[in-house]
Amino acid sequence: MTAIVVQDLRVSRGGTEVLKGISFSVDPGSVYALLGGNGAGKSTTLLTLLGFLTPDSGSASVLDNDVTQCVSRVRQQIAYLPEAATLYPHLNAYENLEYFLDLAGRKTTQLELDQALDEVGLQLESRSRHMEDYSKGMRQKVAISLAILRETPVLLLDEPTSGLDPVAIDEFNALVRNLAGLGKSILMVTHDVYGACQVANRIGLLRRGQLVGSFDAPAGERIETDRVHATFAERATA
């Protein structure tokens, strides 16, 4: 079963067609990076998969469930990291995680919370502090750990490394590879060519609502950054 299938998807926002017939699929246990500039339609693609936007035509499915017909089943399979993840500033990291996991119907132990926060590299002494005192990168780490703790088969990540420093980005990329190795299917949207090449099995280049290029990682290797960057830059000025 393919994890995500998008076929000739067209989506309009505010009367303008934003996605102009895109098709791609994400294999189980793989990372697909949707790469594109500002306004290309990356977030729109994720919001459509989550059932927040209705396609004009075409289709999208998650684990064989159509996203317009089986909205709640689709959402149960997905952990979504939004572009600007908002957690509660007056709660600490543990309290935020417990609260949002409880809403998702998932009970966790303190050990599980600490393991997830270890994985994303949030310092132990910060975890009991209110998140209003956190830096952007620290907030992002808690949001990422929340997505992991949901334990869903599919992850949708919107600009997950934005606000992280280079070391944290490398750690995050390793974490994403690890999650794919555990069988998770990951769709990540980004405008970071380097990061996409580090983690993705396949990259789709999105330009003004159209997929204009696709790159596959050779078995056991990474996608070549220079090649993707050249195409990205060339298309961006076309």
Ligand X SMILES: Nc1ncnc2c1ncn2[C@@H]1O[C@H](COP(=O)(O)OP(=O)(O)OP(=O)(O)O)[C@@H](O)[C@H]1O
Residues in binding contact with ligand X, number by CB under 6 A: 13
Cα distance between residue 229 and residue 174, in whole Å: 21
Interaction between residue 162 and Mg ion (CB under 5 A) = no
Per DSSP, helices labelled H in the chain are 42-49, 71-77, 93-103, 110-120, 136-149, 166-181, 193-199, 225-237
Radius of gyration of the chain (CA): 18
- Say which residue the tokens 């789709």 belong to: 204
Please identify, among the stretches 81-89, 146-154, 162-170, 207-215, the one whose residues bind Mg ion according to the rule CB under 5 A: 81-89
Interaction between residue 39 and ligand X (CB under 6 A) = yes
Nearest approach, Cβ of 11 to ligand X (angstroms)?
9
Angle between helices 166-181 and 136-149 (to 10 degrees): 10
Partner from ligand X, Mg ion, none contacting 55, C-beta within 5 to 8 A by type: none
Partner from Mg ion, ligand X, none contacting 160, C-beta within 5 to 8 A by type: none
Interaction between residue 84 and ligand X (CB under 6 A) = no
What the block records as the tokens of 219 is 């078995």
Nearest approach, Cβ of 62 to ligand X (angstroms)?
18
Answer yes or no: are the C-beta atoms of 199 and 41 closer than 8 Å.
Answer: no
Partner from ligand X, Mg ion, none contacting 39, C-beta within 5 to 8 A by type: ligand X
Residue 11 phi, psi (nearest 5): -135, 135
Partner from ligand X, Mg ion, none contacting 195, C-beta within 5 to 8 A by type: none
Cα distance between residue 172 and residue 140, in whole Å: 11
Interface mask toward Mg ion for 3-42; x: CB under 5 A: ---------------------------------------x
* Residues in contact with Mg ion by the rule CB under 5 A: 42-43, 83
* Residues in contact with ligand X by the rule CB under 6 A: 13-14, 18, 36, 38-44, 83, 191
